[in-house]
Structure 1
Amino acid sequence: MSDGLFSNAKVFTGRAEDDFATAFRIEDGRVSWVGDAAEVTGEPSTDLGGRVVLPGLLDVHTHPAVMAAQADAIDCLPPRVSSLAALLDRLREHPSYGKPDTWILGTGFDDARFPEGRTPNAADLDRVSTTQPVLVRRCDGHSASCNTRALELAGITAATADPPGARFERDAEGSPTGVLTEIAAVDAVAERIPEPDTATIARRLADLNEHFLSHGLTGVCDLLSSFVPDPLAAFRAARELGFRPRVALYPGWQPELADLTDDDRTGPIRIAGIKVFADGAFSNRTAWVEDPYPDSCEHGLRSIGDDELREAAGWARRNRVQLAVHAMGDRALNRVVDLLGDDEPWLDGLPSVRIEHATLVAPELVDRLTRARVRFGIATHTIFLFAETSAYRNNLGPDQARVAYPIRALYDSDLPLALTSDRPATAWDDADDVFCSVAAAVRRIAHDGTDIGRPEAVTVPQALLLYTGRARTLADLGPVGVLEPGAAGDFVILDRDVFTVPAEELAEVRVGETWIAGERCWPR
């Protein structure tokens, strides 16, 4: 631990857009003072060379459990894979290719970019193997494709009923095509994949330590931690193996979920809530929307009924944790407010209900969320529009596009708010690169140069608050996200001044050092 005075820096404290200092002191792993270096004389200090310092960055909607569980899956993200042919070639590179009775797994394909103009199906994946099961997940994390062997192992036939809120896509004769739409359909196949044990998952999580620290992420929320068995034990074991970021876990809701103990809810690795799905995703037209999709009469899929949503909220209330609701479409959002908006809040200082993604948020919906009796908060993105602009362009009508990810309107509201990555559930290889997200929020220009709603742009300080001081209002990660007396001594040092670089260079900013509790944990 390197307690002491740090000076000669441009310190963004995370408390407000214009709150800067030039020095700070850390004692016993906590910030004890922040101010002007001129106020301190005669005290030894660590000279930071005029570099920019930010509080440790927070990604309050990401998926380390998924990243660990899918360590055996081969990366099929763009730009490496931008066609069906390239996808098949990539799957043939899997280390298990040619090994009898082993799964060939892939993740991250974005068929919206495929020149073939369609989703891969079982017939396509049979060209990879007819004897080994093949499963490749789409970039949105909500859909997947599998081959005939995988369908056989899962027992999915023409007679198999669709799971609630999901579909096994079928051909004209009713036979399953291998396209699995929404999570319950994917799970029907994925549950046949042998699960790694807790010790293996813990080692894989520990191996992610450098990834998070190199991105300056000192606190994260895992918004589907039950993707691995016994996530609390696995993450705590990973911490013993050297995993440093704080983690708030949100397992997926199940009616049989056991009640929590005080130990479950406390410490640097804790259970902070549960997650439910109210709808699907825009990239595969399963988000539940008020207006139908363009050139369609479809409104998407609803993923949870009223009674079950209320049951999940009751569990969260009883266990004094948050309810996190995946709701992308405006119809899903309105239904959540209809059902829960008049409830008595059950948490002090935090929103009782988090809305995850919140894609279509018209001004009247912002007003409903703000005026509700229960306290809502929102974890949203710019990385989705930035990375998946083709899919959104195809799947949003003009009126919907105008209110898609309205970061400026949400920032100007009183709602607890954060920008997040949802990694790895989007079509960008490095989705939790904070500065790629900041650049997208500030410029509102997609990877291909498309305008993605410039009236909803924010400034650099505003975007950074949504990864620091404002983000901490959304999730229980402890005294993080700000540099002020009493806060954790977590900070990052940048390789350039993010506040003065030209806007077109924002995505090139990198973390040079990451410090946790006054200890330098990662130098570039």
Structure 2
Amino acid sequence: MMQQLFTNAKVFTGTGEDDFVSAFRIRDGVFDWVGDAADIDGQDAVDLGGRTVLPGLIDSHTHPALMAGTAAAAECFPPAVTSVDELVDVMRAHAATVTAEDAWILGRGFDDTKFPERRMPTAADLDRVSTDRPVLVWRCDAHSAVCNSKALEVAGITAATPDPVGARFERHSDGSPNGVLTEIAAVGDVAAFIPAPSRDEQIDALIALGDELASRGIVAVCDLLSSRLADPLTTFRAAAERGLRLRVALYPGWDPEQPLADLDDDDREGRIRIAGVKVVLDGAYSNRTAWVHEPYPDSCDHGLRLVADEDVRAAADWARRNGVQLAVHAMGDQALDRVVELFADEEPWLTGIPSVRIEHATIVSDEYVRRLRDARMSFGIATHTVFFFAEYDGYEKALRAEQVPDAYPIARLYAGVEALALSSDRPATAWSGADDVMLSVEAAVRRRTYNGIDFGPAAAITAAQALMLYTGRARMLSPLENVGEITAGFDASFAVLERDVFTVPAEEISEVRVAETWIRGERVFAR
């Protein structure tokens, strides 16, 4: 049997915010002993030089299938792109590299709230990129997008085209579409015409993404819309055969027009598995489409409800029947209330993990936490700090002043919701490198935005608490087995840091880098 001993380290075990050891042993890819370096005097061991070690990190809400399906898209995230002209420049440069005859010119990640123009780009702007090839760029929230005139022509979107249910084709005063596609159904009506990458291209993209995530210490992910690939389970498993090392929990989206087939045991088991189904109940705060009780400031708009109750219940019935989780995207306070109203009194169907996951959960009061805790149903939450850090410009316009204390109240959630995780939502986050865990940890500790504004400082937590939400507490949210802790019997997956995240000044946490990442006893990354 393969055995390796590691010593002289500051090892955060992920079993509790104050739980540290100084040595551990790996046997056949599994931790089989964890303890004190003083207990291994005289034994051959790898000396880690006093460096800090974390359990392999879990990103509980991200979108690798989306990234694999749009790997050809140019990145247009802040801080690199902060104006319409910069967006056009990036897309023009990208267009010069796109040579396939039928290829679209694609981009993703712009945040119009950071543009000095304070407006969405339009078809007229993207026509400066090309008038003879279709161009489409997703907004940072991945709920909306903008396309050029050629893309509208290819998709057959005209003044006479009705808006999709729960979405809009934004229009000029004469009713003609202006290229702005608000919410998922509108984007989908155009994006459906983009030629899909080949399966080999998708697999190559997933393997490359796995390598990138390893460089951040991430060893396991939940893909919260895996149906962005046509056959995600087969594609991810093929990528695993060719070198993808991640554990992956897949959550296909619920489409009432094309209900999911029932699962068999093999679908629900293994390192790559189907873990649940996702329903998108509302939009996003950063573009004021989250479904809210009170209208947005200076508006009579309450955002968008995207799915009817009967469709949410149909997805829940499928999840219950198949023994997997229901994940509900709910950002606005009205959407969050509706999740509780629909499910609080129902019997959970899973043990050990929540039957219902709430994704994002922007506005959470003490009373809402109490409702979750007192419910018969078992609830968990995947939320974020990178959102308010990166997207403050949008939240500043979308939140009323009295809502800020309840916006991403991580300290309140940490105390009141056991199955809780921080996550990146990449690439649906307005920041390049949004899956850098240390960026989210610093935002949790400092509660400061990218431009230095305090955002609900009373909701701050410690670095150890934030890291629990990427390790031991995150493990409780989903069926990602044997990761998130340095504990005997768990995968020997861990990250060695270049600096001690627990003692560096708070304003330097985001500068801490991963020096090495190990997955199941094998070093897969060294800086």
TM-score of the aligned structures, taking structure 1 as reference length: 0.98
Tell me the CA shift for residue 372 of structure 1: 1.1
Structure 1 counterpart of 2:380, which letter? Answer: G
Structure 2 counterpart of 1:58, which letter? Answer: I
| CA distances 1:53-72 after superposition (whole Å, capped 9, x unpaired) | 11000001011111111111
Is 1:93 the counterpart of 2:96? The answer is: no
Is 1:127 the counterpart of 2:128? The answer is: yes
Q: Secondary structure at the match of 1:128?
A: coil
CA–CA separation in structure 2 for the residues paired with 1:183 and 1:377: 24
CA–CA separation in structure 2 for the residues paired with 1:97 and 1:492: 37
Equivalent residue number for residue 249 of structure 2? 248
Output aligned runs, 1:177-192, within 5 Å.
177-192=178-193
CA–CA separation in structure 1 for the residues paired with 2:262 and 2:218: 30
Tell me the CA shift for residue 518 of structure 1: 1.3
Structure 1 counterpart of 2:250, which letter? Answer: L
CA–CA separation in structure 2 for the residues paired with 1:219 and 1:318: 26
Is 1:113 the counterpart of 2:111? The answer is: no
CA–CA separation in structure 1 for the residues paired with 2:371 and 2:198: 44
> Measured at CA, do residues 157 and 454 of structure 1 come closer, stay the same or move farther in structure 2, by a change above 3 Å?
same
Tell me the CA shift for residue 2 of structure 1: 5.9
Q: Secondary structure at the match of 2:518?
A: strand
Equivalent residue number for residue 169 of structure 2? 168
Verify the 8 A CA contact 2:102 2:195 in the aligned structure 1: no
Equivalent residue number for residue 309 of structure 1? 312
Verify the 8 A CA contact 1:101 1:131 in the aligned structure 2: no
Equivalent residue number for residue 411 of structure 1? 414
> Measured at CA, do residues 114 and 516 of structure 1 come closer, stay the same or move farther in structure 2, by a change above 3 Å?
same
Verify the 8 A CA contact 1:435 1:507 in the aligned structure 2: yes
Equivalent residue number for residue 350 of structure 2? 347
| CA distances 1:163-200 after superposition (whole Å, capped 9, x unpaired) | 11111111222211110000110000000001123222
Q: Secondary structure at the match of 2:287?
A: coil
Tell me the CA shift for residue 209 of structure 1: 2.3
Is 1:522 the counterpart of 2:525? The answer is: yes
Q: Secondary structure at the match of 1:58?
A: strand
Is 1:286 the counterpart of 2:289? The answer is: yes
Verify the 8 A CA contact 1:215 1:433 in the aligned structure 2: yes
> Measured at CA, do residues 260 and 99 of structure 1 come closer, stay the same or move farther in structure 2, by a change above 3 Å?
closer
Tell me the CA shift for residue 128 of structure 1: 1.5
Q: Secondary structure at the match of 1:377?
A: strand
Structure 2: where are the runs of 5+ without partners? Answer: none
Greater Cα shift, 91-100 or 340-349: 91-100
Equivalent residue number for residue 453 of structure 2? 450
Tell me the CA shift for residue 97 of structure 1: 5.5
| CA distances 1:416-464 after superposition (whole Å, capped 9, x unpaired) | 1000000111111000000010000000011100111110000010000
Is 1:205 the counterpart of 2:206? The answer is: yes
Output aligned runs, 1:63-74, within 5 Å.
63-74=63-74
CA–CA separation in structure 1 for the residues paired with 2:5 and 2:129: 59
Equivalent residue number for residue 104 of structure 2? 103
CA–CA separation in structure 1 for the residues paired with 2:226 and 2:314: 20
Equivalent residue number for residue 30 of structure 1? 30
Output aligned runs, 1:150-161, within 5 Å.
150-161=151-162
| CA distances 1:365-411 after superposition (whole Å, capped 9, x unpaired) | 11111111110000000000000111101111011222110000000
Tell me the CA shift for residue 4 of structure 1: 2.1
Equivalent residue number for residue 492 of structure 1? 495
| CA distances 1:183-240 after superposition (whole Å, capped 9, x unpaired) | 1100000000011232221121112222011000001111111111101111111111
Tell me the CA shift for residue 127 of structure 1: 1.7
Output aligned runs, 1:407-446, within 5 Å.
407-446=410-449
Structure 1 counterpart of 2:216, which letter? Answer: H
Equivalent residue number for residue 361 of structure 1? 364
Tell me the CA shift for residue 516 of structure 1: 1.0
Equivalent residue number for residue 223 of structure 1? 224
Greater Cα shift, 150-159 or 271-280: 150-159
CA–CA separation in structure 2 for the residues paired with 1:415 and 1:302: 28
Equivalent residue number for residue 80 of structure 1? 80
| CA distances 1:452-500 after superposition (whole Å, capped 9, x unpaired) | 1110000010000000000000011111100111111111100011111
Structure 2 counterpart of 1:85, which letter? Answer: D
Structure 2 counterpart of 1:284, which letter? Answer: N
Verify the 8 A CA contact 2:418 2:473 in the aligned structure 1: no
Output aligned runs, 1:7-18, within 5 Å.
7-18=7-18
Structure 1 counterpart of 2:206, which letter? Answer: L
CA RMSD in angstroms, aligned pairs only: 1.2
Verify the 8 A CA contact 1:131 1:149 in the aligned structure 2: yes
Is 1:56 the counterpart of 2:59? The answer is: no
Verify the 8 A CA contact 2:2 2:28 in the aligned structure 1: no
CA–CA separation in structure 1 for the residues paired with 2:414 and 2:152: 45
Is 1:390 the counterpart of 2:432? The answer is: no
CA–CA separation in structure 2 for the residues paired with 1:182 and 1:166: 5
CA–CA separation in structure 2 for the residues paired with 1:343 and 1:26: 43
CA–CA separation in structure 2 for the residues paired with 1:400 and 1:298: 17
Q: Secondary structure at the match of 1:81?
A: coil
Verify the 8 A CA contact 1:198 1:233 in the aligned structure 2: no
Tell me the CA shift for residue 254 of structure 1: 2.2
Structure 1 counterpart of 2:409, which letter? Answer: P
| CA distances 1:71-99 after superposition (whole Å, capped 9, x unpaired) | 11111111221111111111101145687
Q: Secondary structure at the match of 2:267?
A: coil
Verify the 8 A CA contact 1:407 1:458 in the aligned structure 2: yes
CA–CA separation in structure 2 for the residues paired with 1:99 and 1:493: 42
Q: Secondary structure at the match of 1:173?
A: coil
Equivalent residue number for residue 5 of structure 2? 5
Tell me the CA shift for residue 100 of structure 1: 5.5
Percent identical pairs in the alignment equals 62
Tell me the CA shift for residue 115 of structure 1: 0.9
Tell me the CA shift for residue 10 of structure 1: 0.5
Is 1:297 the counterpart of 2:279? The answer is: no
Structure 2 counterpart of 1:200, which letter? Answer: E
Structure 1 counterpart of 2:82, which letter? Answer: S
Match of 1:260 among 263, 270, 287: 263
TM-score of the aligned structures, taking structure 2 as reference length: 0.98
Verify the 8 A CA contact 1:3 1:518 in the aligned structure 2: no
CA–CA separation in structure 1 for the residues paired with 2:384 and 2:374: 23
Paired positions, count: 524
CA–CA separation in structure 2 for the residues paired with 1:268 and 1:321: 15
CA–CA separation in structure 2 for the residues paired with 1:294 and 1:98: 45
Verify the 8 A CA contact 1:370 1:415 in the aligned structure 2: no
Q: Secondary structure at the match of 1:307?
A: helix
Q: Secondary structure at the match of 1:263?
A: helix
